[in-house]
Amino acid sequence: MTYRPTRLEVNGRSVELPGLPDDERLLDTLRWRLGMKGTKEGCRTGACGACTVLVGGESTLSCLTLTKELDGRAVTTIEVGPEDAVVSRVRSAFSAAGALQCGYCTPGFVMSLAGRLRERGAAASREELLEALGGNLCRCTGYASILRALDQLHRGAP
């Protein structure tokens, strides 16, 4: 196995990871090396969306992404602060709509919507926002509150 140093920008902060194995997934780097437990491990196969983060502003499944492939790239997680207006807006919509339930899947939903809003901005249609959530699963809601949050975002609130 090869080990190499890798540099990332995580939530606006430069991170240097010396001696990173070539086969380490971004999910594991975030959770176990950087202590960022907001990115959840659900299936490890890319089927549930709980591990969604933004890489260069685009929604990315961290369980299917090798950290070494991201050398020099920007990664945004659910832990990003209020300086990220898009993620903050989505979090606020989820809170206002009561779309939190147990909260395990919430970071993936939030980051998937944030990625689509970064990509399309105010031009994002309701259908595009729904499509962005296509890979996210929730086991404890009927999705009604998540759809209320999505509708708030589509209408420009909050």
| Domain extents in the chain | 3-76, 85-154
* Mutual angle of helices 106-120 and 144-154, in 10-degree steps: 20
Q: What's the start-to-end Cα distance of the chain, in Å?
A: 48
- pLDDT at 73 (0 to 100): 98
- pLDDT at 152 (0 to 100): 94
**Burial zone of 77 (CB within 10 Å; 0-12 exposed, 13-18 middle, 19+ buried):** buried
What number does CATH give the domain 3-76? Answer: 3.10.20.30
102 within 8 A of 140, measured Cβ to Cβ:
yes
> β-strand 3-10 against 74-76: which pairing, if any?
parallel
Domain 85-154: homologous superfamily in CATH: [2Fe-2S]-binding domain (1.10.150.120)
Q: Is 80 exceeded by the pLDDT of residue 23?
A: yes
Pairwise CA distance, residues 55 & 62, whole Å: 9
Residue-wise pLDDT for 38-92, tens only, equals: 999 999 999 999 999 999 999 999 999 999 999 999 999 999 999 999 999 999 9
Residue-wise pLDDT for 88-113, tens only, equals: 999 999 999 999 888 899 999 999 99
Instruction: Supply the pTM of this predicted model.
Output: 0.95
- pLDDT at 22 (0 to 100): 93
